[in-house]
Structure 1
Amino acid sequence: APLSLQGQGIGFNFAAYQMTFPPASSISPVSSVFKWTPTCEHLKAKDKYQLQFIVNDQTNKCTVRNADILLVDVNLLPPENTAPKLHFDNTDQIPFNRGAFELNNGTKINFTIRGTDEDIDPQDELQLAMTAAAGNPMPKNYIFKPVVGKGTAASPFTWQTNCSIFKNHETSNLFAFVFKVTDNRCANPLDASDTLKIRVLDPVDEGEFTPPNVITPDGDGCNDFFAVENIPEAICGVRLLKINFPKDNCAHAFEYIKIFNRYGKEVFISANRNFRWFANDAPAGVYYYDIKFSDKTFKGLVNVVR
C-alpha cells in the first residue's frame, strides 16, 4: 500500500531550528532521514524538544485512512566543561615569602596574568579581568587591561611602587589584587579566581654617621672638602672610616645641608646627598652645619684649617 511520511515539531517549526526531515511517499516501507546539529543557541532557547512523525496509509478505503504517530522527546544537555585556570607569570623572579611576593619599595613590578582553557577540543573563549584591589592605603597607578582570547587570555600587570603606599612610618605593607577568568562554554560557563598578593618593604637603615670635623682646603688634594657620601677610603695615605649617610626610605630621606659661619650667615646649601663643600673663599675658623632629613635634623661643626 502507498504510504506517506512527514514530521513536525510540537510547538515549533523544524526550519526555525535548522532541523530537516524531507517528506517521503512510497510503497511500504517508507523512510526519510531526520538531521539536526543542536547549537548553543538551541540549548539557550529551551532544553526539551518534542518531535512528531506521522505515517499515513494513502489507500482510501471508504474515506477512512489509517495513520500512526511517533512522538520523540529530545532533551538537550549542557556540554561537559572543565574550569579554566589562572597563572601569575613572575616575569622578574620576585621572591615569594610569607604567602606573598615580596620586594623593596621603588621596584617596578611586572607580572603577566594568564588564563588558560583546560578543554582541548573545542577550546572556549576566555575573559580575563581584575575584580578587586585592596590595601591600606588603596593601591593606585597600577596598570592592567582586561582581555579576551581563544583558549588563552593574557595581559601584563605593572606597578611602580613609591612612598604614597606607606603611611604612619610603616615599613611593610601588603596589597591584594584579585583576578578572574571566565570561559563561554555553552550553557555551562565556568570561572576561576585567584589573588596576587604583593608585600612592599621600606627598608630601614639604622647606620650611624659622624661627618669629618676638619678640612684643609689648600688645593693639595688631601682633605680639601667637606662631605659625607662616597669619601675615598684613603686620602693622602690616611685610611678613613666609611661614614655614608643612612640609606633613604619613605620615612627618613635626605633633604639638604646648610652650612653657616660663626655669625649665622649661610655660606653653603645643597640638596644633593653627594655634596662637596670646598670652602672656597671661606676664612679659617669654625663653621656649623644643619643636615636635614625628612624626620630629623643633625647638627654639628667643621673646622676650616688653612
Structure 2
Amino acid sequence: MPFYFRLSGPAWSAIVLFACSWLVLVGPAWGTHIVGGEMELVHGTGDAYTLQLNLYFDAANGSPSALDGELTASIFEKSTNRRMANVLMPLVNNTFVNYTNPACVKSTLSTRRLVYSRAIILAPTIYNSPQGYYVAVERCCRNNSISNIQSPNTAAQAFYLEFPAVVRRGQPFIDSTPRIFPPLADYACINELFYYDFAGQDADGDSLVYDMVTPLNGNSFSDLPKPAAAGPAPYPLITWKPGLSTANQIPGAPTLAIHAQTGRLTVRPTDQGLFVFGVRCTEYRGGEKIGETRRDFQLMVRSDCAINTKPSLALLPAPTGRLAYRPGRDTLRLVPGGNRCVRVLFTDADRNSRLSLSLKAVNFSGLLPNFTTATSGAVRSPGAPDTLTATLCFPECIDTKGKVFLLDVVVGDDGCSLPKRDTVRVAFTAMRPPNSPPRLSTTAVPTLPIRARIGDLLSFDVIGTDPDNDAVQLEMTGRGFNPADLGATLSQGTQGAERRGRFTWRVDCRAVGPDSVFNFMFAAATSPCNERQAASVTVPIIVSYRNQAPTLASTLPLAKAAEIPLIELPLGQRYTATFTGIDLNRDGLTLTATGSSIDGKEGFDLAAAGMRFEARNGTGTASGTFTWDVSCAAANLRRSLIVTFQLVDATCKPLPQVQRVQLQVKSPDTLAVKLYNVITPNRDGQNDYFRLPDLPPNFCDARFGSLKIYTRWGQQVYESTDREFRWPGQGTGGVYYYYVTYTDGRKYRGWLEVIP
C-alpha cells in the first residue's frame, strides 16, 4: 500500500531536513558526476499523485558513495513563491541506461538512471491557485570535465517542473505532466551527424512543444551540495564558455537543435568533449499553457570513432527491370491485377557491415507494404554478397483514393556511434480491386409479416453469400429492442459457399407490451480490406395477445353491493361451498383460499379454524370445495374471519377473479345482562343474597373468570370464581362495588346497596 503525504503546508522543518541532509553526505561535495535529469507528476486516483525525479548518474567515473538515498523536492505557488510543502523522496530504483547500439559500447560512457519517488495528495481546497505551482530539487555538483560551461566542478543543478492547479474555473482539473523521456546513453562523433529521439509522452493527450534552454544552476554550492530544501525561483543559470549560448550549446555545423514538435535532437559536432545542454518541454491544453518540464543532460563527443560509410539503397519497380526508381520524379501506380511488388537493392562500402531495412509512412497512416523476403543481412564479409536484395510488396487493400502517398524506405547500418541511414522516398498511388457487396435472403420472406401468439415457436433461415468469396458473418439486431432480451437466437454455420443461420424464438410474456410489432433486422456482413460491407433484411413479427377474464361461480351467498356476505353458524354445524372456474382462452386456472381479518391486516390459518379447501386446477377449468366444521377452534380466534377465494389464469397479464365470505361462530342465546343493585339480608327469604344469574354463559374459551366486591373505601371484602356465587353481605348496611371479569376480556362493573 503506498504511503501518501497530504500537502497542506510546509511538511517538514527545514532545520530537521538540514541535519538529515548532512548525515548522508560522504566524502567531498564536488565531482558528484550528475549527468542530468527531469521531474514528473503523475495522477493516480482522486487527489492522489506521484511526484518523481529521474536522475542520471555517471557510472563510469562517479563514486557510489555520491549516490543519495533520498532527495527533497519543494513545491511553491507560482504567483507568490509561497512554499507549499517539502517532499522527501526516497530512492526507489537504480538501473543502467542501454546504448542504442550495444556494439558501440565504450567503457568511458556508462549511465545509471536513479528514480526518487513519493506518493502525495494535492487537495483541491489548497492547490487551486490560477497561475499554478512549480517543484524544484537542488543538488550540487556537475561533472568536472564538462567542456562548455564555466567552473563545472562547482556548477550546481536545479531540476524544475511546473504543474497547474487541480481546480480550474470551479471544476476539477486533472493533469499528468509529460513523462517517459528516453534517456541519452550514446555518444557523438566529430563531424558526424548525431540524432536522437528526446521526446516525451503525455497521458492526457496534451500538446507538447520542445525548445532549447540554458540549464539551471540553482542555489546549492560545493560547501552545501544537498540543501535541506530548494529555495524559491528564480534560479540562477549556468555560465556558458565564451562563444556559446542557449542557441549554440554544443559547437557544431549545425549546432545542437531540437525539433519543436517531434523532440528529435540533431547536431554535427565540431569539437571533442563533454557537453551539457538543456531542453524544455512545454505542455498545452486547448491552446493554453498548463505546465512545463525542464531536462538537463550531457552529450559526449569523441574523436576516435571509426569511419563509417553511409549505406545506399535503390528500388527497381519492375521485378525483372533494371531502371531504378527516381525519387521526386517517379510515381508508382498500382492498379488491380498489375504488379504490386518492387525489388530493393541495399549495400554498404564498409566490410562486415550489417544492414537492415525499415519503412515509415510520411503522409498517411494505416496499412503499410510488407517485405516478403529477408530485410537484413551482412555485406562484404567472407562469403557475404556485396549487395543484398529484398522484395517489397504493396497489399491489394492499400487504396490511396486518388491521392499520392509518400513512403520512406530506409536502410541502416550498425556503425558507431549511431547507425547511418539512406532513405528513398517513394511516391505511389494505389487502387483497390473492385468488390461486390454480400447478399442476404431469408425463408421468412413469403409470409411477412409473421403473426404469432404467446407460446408459439417461430423459426426460419437466413442465408448470406458473397460474389467475391469474402468471409460472411450473419448479424441479428432489433429495432428498439435487444433480441436476446426476448429469448430470440440466431445460430449460424457455413455450408459450402453459404453462411446459413437459423432464427428461433419461443414467444413468451416478454413480448407483451405497448408495441406488439417487432422488427428483427438481419445482416450479412463482410470486411474486405477491413471495410465493412453489408446486405440487410428486416423481418417484422406481430405478436397478438388477447386475454378474457375467467369466470368464478360458487354456492356462497350473494354479496350486496360492496358488502361481504356473512355466514353465522352455531357450534357443531358443517358448512360446505363449491366453486367452479372457466376460462375461454383455455389458460391454466388456479383456485386458492386464504384467511384474513375483517380489516385485511391479519391473516389466519384455515386449518386452525377448522376449515379446509380442496382445489382441482386445470387448463380452462378449475373447481374447489370449501368445508368448515364449526367448533371452538374458530370461536377462540375471537374475531370475524374473512376467507378470500381467488381464481387466477396463467397468462402474461392475469385477470384474477375474487369472492369473499365472512364466517362467524354464533354464540348461545342469552338474555340481556341484568346487574342487581340492592339486597336485604334479613333472612325473610326474599333478596337475601347478592347474585348475578343473568351473566353471559360460558362459551368455548370465553368463560366466567371472577367476582370481586369492595367497600366504598376500596377494601376487598369478597371474591369468587364460581359463576353461581351467593354473597349475603357483611352484616351491616352500606354501599359496595363489584367487578366481574371473563377470560375473553369482557368486564362488568356495578354498585350494590346492602339494607339490613
- TM-score norm. by structure 1 comes to 0.49
- TM-score norm. by structure 2 comes to 0.23
Higher Rg: 2
